[in-house]
Structure formats: structure tokens, C-alpha cells
Homo-oligomer: A and B are copies of this chain.
Amino acid sequence: MQRALPVSRERFADWYQAVVRDADMAESSPVRGAMVIKPWGWGVWEQIQGELDRRIKATGHENCYFPLFIPLSFIAKEAEHVDGFAKEMAVVTHHRLKMIDGKLAPDPEAKLEEPLVVRPTSETIIGDAFSRWIKSYRDLPLLINQWANVVRWEMRPRLFLRTTEFLWQEGHTAHATLQDAQEETARMLEVYRAFAEDVLAMPAIAGEKPENERFPGAVNTYSIEAMMQDGKALQAGTSHFLGTHFAEAQNIKFQNDAGGMEFCNTTSWGVSTRLIGGVIMTHGDDDGLRLPPAIAPKQIVVVPMLRDKPEDAEVLAYCENLVKALSGMSIFGQPVRAHLDLKKIKSAEKRWNWVRRGAPLIVEVGPRDAAGGNVTYMRRDDLRDGDKIKSVVKPRVDFIEGAVQLLAEIQAGLYAEAKARLDGNIKRDIENFEALAAYFGEDDDSFKGWVRAPWSKPTGEALEAVGAKLKTLKLTIRNAPADQPAEFGACLFTGEPGVEEILIGRAY
């Protein structure tokens, strides 16, 4: 069965690379681990940014911008306070280049007294500002977000999923009370969950990460976990309750209304360009990407079927009118994004480009359509009937009148499909580790989904031992979902009484 990609989802890793490439999303750069985000990929990120930014602002946060470089001493202070502190960071040591023996090299005379670290995350530099900005309880809560690039050295990079440089938003907040900070942590986790569901059409389960998967320095780390089409989990966003750990390390204090000084409780939370990888692996098919209309840079693409003949002018005018009419309508609170493809390539090539890129509606208009007042369109979410492409001919007026409804249907349909996959692939009848091992198999890469099972929530060394056992199966605990039953079976690992249920799976 001929598809628009050279490889099917059965070879999932290769398929992913093919989609990223053939949908013009991104490519590797000459700098190992960094990527070039191409216009179509960037367009998706702009849509994600736009809508998430509205939601972050609607919950009372203000955007700022903090420096890219962090003094090594800040990082050293954090390292003292934080177990499990990661050290794979880009370090700037010189501020000038010089021709030395005919070769350009770092100038030894421009060596920095204190090396600078390219931010891997900004708790330390933002905490420094907070310690100056916060004086009294009247300054709280302080609710800040920034959109920025960050760098964490990656030995095994994958485009969007794990890159040395990536783009994200990072929220950082300070509160007068522990309860306020906990509420904030939960609020932003829910913003992410709802955003993934409403906008990315990517259902995700919100819950708390186990102790050994916490952000270093956090009291609690929460995540949303989405199920990809190969059954693996993608951690798609995290929200951290930091207690007073960072405030103590960075002296973030406030005067309470009784006049005493207290440390703030702080939080941080973020999502990144990784979400784009999640969208690809949630919605893509063997013809390429399928984009939820809410984040498609172009929701309706109109391809004029031109033949270098006099009737081209009529077809073009007809298409321009169509795009104009569509652009005047609204969906998801924004104008409909309709696009007329005037590139100087063949119409068939255009069609397949838009199929691979996942434009939700692809409209083709030939002389016969123009003369008859019709349009011929394809739904990217329902492209084929067997091998045949399903294209529908409709009167122009009907198509325009129904376009918003069609886009809403596509959005809902993609969500429903992903939701059915998630709901249908969480196995609940695994009762002990042996059964888990038998189910996943050490080298079995076929679709497995996740296991949901009770555990006794061990900590410290006992938890490390559990983690090590799971690792032999390439498994990790994803999170303990927020919604929990009233009673629990026996712990999957120890047989002791369970205290909560957790999700276990393979992950990106």
C-alpha cells in the first residue's frame, strides 16, 4: 500500500525521523545535538506559544526575560544544596577570539575570571532577582514566566524530543505560604493538562512523580504523561513545588504582616519544544503528520490546479475569493488560517506536501470546480478509503458555511482517537513483578502501553532497588495519577499493602 512516507509506523523510530524531515518540521544542525526548526515546525511552535501564553497570563503571570548566562558561583551554590544535580552544561570560558598562528582561537588574554554557564534552567538567576524584588508580603505572590532557549548537553539527541538546545517556557513563582505554593503547582499542572487536551488533542494523565524522579531540589514534582502510538510515555510537562529549598539557598525572604521575616515557598514549571515531538507521535500516520487544527499554522490550504492556460486567471480569482471568505471566519477564538499555495511547483506535489505536513483541510480547485461553483477537498484526518484518496466535491457556499464545523470535528476526532488509545492500553491486571516482566519482556519492542498497579510507595534505598529492577525491563514509573481509588491491592513489588496506584511504562 503506497503511502506518502518511505517508512511506516511499524518502524517507529525511523518513521518519526521521516515525519520530522518530510513534513518540513526540523533538521539536524552542524552543531551536534542542536536543531534547525524550519518554517512549518516553527509555525506549530508559534501556535503553541500563542495559546499557552494566553493561558499563563490568564492565570495572573507576567512575562520577563532573564540572562542566558549564569555565573558558575550561582550553579555551585545550587549544587551544594541539591542532590542529583546534573552537570551536563555548556560552559563559556572566553569572551574573545584571536588569530593565533593563522588560526582563529579563543584568546588566552580574554579568559573569564569566572566561567559562565549557559542556562540549563533559570531557578538560580531568577531566584537572585526574587531575593531583591521581594520585600514584604505585599509583593507576594510573585508570578513570573519566561520564554527562552536553554542548553543541556545531550549525548543521544533526537529532534524535538531531546536536543542540546531547546526552547521552552519556565514559570517561577514565590508565595507567602506553603499552601499557596502547592495550589500554584497544582494550578499550572492543570493548565498543562487542559492545554494538551484542548489544544494539542493529546490526552495526558496528571500525577506526581516518584521521589527518585523529582526535579533536584523539589519537594514534589508533578507531570503530565501522554501515550505515544508505540505505547511509550512522553513526559509532556512538569510542575515543581520547591518548598523553601531554593528560597533558603538564595535568601528569598519577605516580611510578613506581623513584621517577622520568613522564607518564601517557591514553584517552577515548564513545557518545551518536546511537545511538538509529542504531537507528531500522537497524531502522525503513514502519510506523515496530522495536525490538530488548533495548532496548524495553516488550517485550510487551497491549491489551485493551474495549467498555464487562459482559464488559470479564473481559477486563481476563484481561489483568492475562497481564501478571503475563509479567513474572515473564526475558530478557537482566532481567525481561520487559510492559505493559497502559489508556489511554482506541480499541483500534485503541492497536495502531497500538505498531506505530509498535516494541514487539516486541503482544497483543490480546478477549472471545472471554478466554473461549477464547487470545491474539492480532503480531510487529512480521514484521508483514505483503502488505498484511494477520499476527496469530496461540495458547492463552494456549503464548504465555506461548514468549514469551521469541519475543523472542530477534526480537532475532536484526533482527540477521541488518542483518548481511546490511552484509555484502552492501560493494563490493570498485572499483580507482581514477575507478571510485569513476562508482559513487557526484556527485548520486546512491540506495543505494550502502560501498566497501572498499586504500590507501597517505598522511599530511599528501597525505591532505588525498585528503580533498578524496572530498569532491567527498560521501564520507569511515570507518575501516580491524581485520581486514585479508595482502596488498594497489594504492592506490585513487595506484596505489602498498596498505598497508591502508579503508572509504569517505557518512555521517551
**B98, A87: Cβ atoms under 8 Å?**
yes
In the assembled complex, how far is the CB of residue A207 from the closest CB belonging to chain B, in whole angstroms?
32
Judged by a CB distance under 8 angstroms, whether A43 is at the interface is yes
In the assembled complex, how far is the CB of residue A23 from the closest CB belonging to chain B, in whole angstroms?
15
Judged by a CB distance under 8 angstroms, whether A459 is at the interface is no
Judged by a CB distance under 8 angstroms, whether A104 is at the interface is yes
**B88, A91: Cβ atoms under 8 Å?**
no
In the assembled complex, how far is the CB of residue A177 from the closest CB belonging to chain B, in whole angstroms?
16
Judged by a CB distance under 8 angstroms, whether A151 is at the interface is yes
**A344, B68: Cβ atoms under 8 Å?**
no
Complex Cα–Cα for A87 and B104 (A): 9
Judged by a CB distance under 8 angstroms, whether A174 is at the interface is no
Judged by a CB distance under 8 angstroms, whether A413 is at the interface is no
Judged by a CB distance under 8 angstroms, whether A74 is at the interface is yes
**B106, A93: Cβ atoms under 8 Å?**
yes
Q: Beta-carbon contacts of A86-110 to B below 8 Å, as 1s and 0s?
A: 0111111111111100011111000
**B36, A138: Cβ atoms under 8 Å?**
no
Pick from B67, B88, B138: contact of A35, CB under 8 Å: B67
In the assembled complex, how far is the CB of residue A61 from the closest CB belonging to chain B, in whole angstroms?
9
**A116, B31: Cβ atoms under 8 Å?**
yes
Judged by a CB distance under 8 angstroms, whether A187 is at the interface is no
Q: Beta-carbon contacts of A431-447 to B below 8 Å, as 1s and 0s?
A: 00000000000000000
Complex Cα–Cα for A116 and B90 (A): 9
Chain B residues, Cβ within 8 Å of A148: 149
Complex Cα–Cα for A63 and B47 (A): 12
Judged by a CB distance under 8 angstroms, whether A371 is at the interface is no
Judged by a CB distance under 8 angstroms, whether A352 is at the interface is no
Question: Among the interface residues A34, A128, A144, A165, which one has the most CB atoms of the partner chain B within 10 A?
Answer: A34
**B96, A87: Cβ atoms under 8 Å?**
yes
Pick from B43, B92, B343: contact of A91, CB under 8 Å: B92
Chain B residues, Cβ within 8 Å of A29: 66-67, 125, 129
In the assembled complex, how far is the CB of residue A196 from the closest CB belonging to chain B, in whole angstroms?
22
Chain B residues, Cβ within 8 Å of A36: 64-67, 129
A36-B129, A62-B39, A97-B117 as given contacts; A90 in contact with B69, CB under 8 Å: yes
**B107, A71: Cβ atoms under 8 Å?**
no
In the assembled complex, how far is the CB of residue A216 from the closest CB belonging to chain B, in whole angstroms?
14
In the assembled complex, how far is the CB of residue A345 from the closest CB belonging to chain B, in whole angstroms?
7
Complex Cα–Cα for A432 and B291 (A): 66
Judged by a CB distance under 8 angstroms, whether A261 is at the interface is no
Chain B residues, Cβ within 8 Å of A71: 30-31
Of all chain B residues, which has the CB nearest A163? Answer: B67
In the assembled complex, how far is the CB of residue A134 from the closest CB belonging to chain B, in whole angstroms?
14
Pick from B64, B115, B118: contact of A39, CB under 8 Å: B64
Judged by a CB distance under 8 angstroms, whether A167 is at the interface is yes
Judged by a CB distance under 8 angstroms, whether A389 is at the interface is no
Chain B residues, Cβ within 8 Å of A324: none
Pick from B37, B68, B106: contact of A151, CB under 8 Å: B68
A64-B37, A69-B165, A153-B95 as given contacts; A104 in contact with B76, CB under 8 Å: yes
Chain B residues, Cβ within 8 Å of A390: none
Q: Which residue numbers of A lie inside 8 Å of B, CB to CB?
A: 27, 29-31, 34-39, 42-43, 45-46, 62-72, 74-76, 79, 87-99, 103-107, 115-118, 125, 128-129, 138, 144, 148-149, 151, 153, 164-165, 167, 343-345
Q: Which 6 A-B pairs have the closest CB atoms?
A: A34-B67, A39-B62, A37-B65, A76-B104, A91-B94, A95-B153
23 A-B pairs, CB-CB below 8 angstroms? Answer: A29-B125, A29-B129, A30-B74, A31-B70, A31-B71, A34-B68, A39-B64, A42-B62, A42-B64, A65-B167, A67-B165, A68-B118, A68-B151, A72-B105, A75-B104, A79-B99, A88-B95, A89-B95, A89-B97, A91-B93, A91-B95, A92-B92, A93-B94
Q: A36-B67, A39-B144, A69-B90 are in contact. List 4 more A-B contacts (CB 8 A).
A: A31-B116, A43-B62, A88-B95, A96-B153
